[in-house]
Amino acid sequence: MLTDVDALANALRESREYTFSLVNHLADSQWEVPRWEIVNPLRWEVGHIGFFQELFCVRWRPDDPRGERMASCLPGADALYDSRTVAHERRWDLALPGRDAIQAYLGATLERTLEVVRAGDAQARERCRLALLHEDMHGEAILMSLQSVGLPAPARTWATRSSVLPPCVDIGYEGGLLMQGSPRDASRYVFDNEKWAHPVRVAPFTIASRPVTCGEFAAFVDAGGYQQEAYWAGEGARWRAQARPEAPRYWRRDGSSWWRRWFGEWQPVPLDDTMVHVNRHEAEAYCRWAGRRLPSESEWEFAATAGGVSDFPWGDVMPPEPASLDYRQASPHAGVAPHGPAGAPHGLIGGVWEWTATPFGPYPGFEPDAYEEYSQPYFGTHGTLRGGSFVTRSRLAHGRWRNFYAPNRNDCFAGFRTCAVSR
């Protein structure tokens, strides 16, 4: 659980190596990405990782965390990389350091952080755990940017994956009282939007045993799903009218077949892969076409935590080297583990983030943590996703972890599973 000094230090080193592995294959010119709302300049994104780690682990003053701080080892770092004060649209106009200088900065911040891990107290190490998980999140954001811009994927050695697609069946739950959220005695890091476990009454529900696949979503597209107004409502109808989509993001038709751009290459849509790169509006439209619905956040957590008794469908321990996390697969796949016990839904953790029907909001008694800007600014405007994707780090993923995106975002590695509509 990264409470041990050596385990935390090793994880910090591994995460930094992983971050570099996501960008080292790019030419210098490929670090210059377009000025888009959904991406960051890579020189800013990578540099910000080092800045955040240095700020929370090395420069932090517990008595006045927002006041005068120790100077950064990179002159002017606050004016370049502080996401609280540097607006997104300004990040392309900054005099950011070059690639080599950024990597040297990340090397220096890591060494200073490791000193804090070895010499600091429990509170300092807790901030180092936060910085570790923050870097893990930005690793996924970097891969999202590479996909969005059409840059090549990093070279990886892929784990062997099963080609067997499990049949999709409905699994019924009687519901009951769910203690939703993380308990106060959790040994893992708990983000503020998971605090704290509180009682939620969950009615009986029936949920699909696996997420929707590309082939199943292609049937919706081929049936005119994007053209028929009946499948779109409210905010989704407004998004459709404005964006005028004809197919999922990154898809195009070639004759009778669908192709998709996967990072920098066009390939036939793998029909047995889990559907990815859809927003909540598209997921809801599919559900209306199929006579289904999205699960609520509470229903999803009930299924993913065995009714609230564990962190995963299978218990409280993540298996070593889970195939559907940590970018061990080239793409999400409906046949990939980890899975719960027999009769439980398939692939709830990893593969794709799964949209729920629940708006992102605070739990009762919410208070922001030291990373004040993590959750609170997005309450009420974003939707809640659960489970993690194939590129989410396994240190982060568990059945109570909450992710959040604006409902119109279809650049994230997100898909969905459906629930039966109550009669």
Has residue 373 got a pLDDT over 80? Answer: yes
Is 350 a residue whose pLDDT tops 60?
Answer: yes
pLDDT, residue 66, reads: 60
Distance CA 108, CA 106 (A): 5
CB 220 within 8 A of CB 289: yes
Which residue spans within 185-254 are E strands per DSSP? 198-202, 205-208, 251-254
pLDDT tens by residue, 247-301: 999 999 999 999 999 999 999 999 999 999 999 999 999 999 999 999 999 999 9
Average pLDDT over residues 332-354: 90
Backbone angles phi, psi at 109, to 5 degrees: -65, -35
- Residue 267: exposed, middle, or buried by beta-carbon count in 10 A (0-12, 13-18, 19+)? exposed
Mean pLDDT value of segment 303-311: 96
Residue 361 to residue 376: CA distance in whole angstroms:
8
130 closest CA partner among 40, 192, 45, 73: 192
Q: Residue 337 pLDDT more than 90?
A: no
Q: For residues 318 and 215, give the distance between their C-alpha atoms in angstroms, rounded to a whole number.
A: 30
φ and ψ of 121, to 5 deg: -90, -175
Is there a contact between 81 and 59 (Cβ–Cβ < 8 Å)? Answer: no
Residue 61's pLDDT is what?
81
pLDDT value of position 162: 74
With a threshold of 0.85, does the pTM exceed it? Answer: yes
Residue 19 phi/psi, 5-degree rounding, is -55, -50
**Spatial distance between the Cα atoms of 416 and 55, rounded to a whole number of angstroms:** 36
| Fold of the domain built from segment(s) 158-423 | paralog of FGE (formylglycine-generating enzyme) (3.90.1580)
| Rg of the chain over all Cα atoms, to the nearest angstrom | 21
Pick the more confident residue, 166 or 347.
Answer: 347
Q: Is residue 128 within 8 Å of 15, Cβ to Cβ?
A: no
Average pLDDT over residues 406-415: 98
Q: How many CA atoms within 13 Å lie on the side-chain side of 353?
A: 28
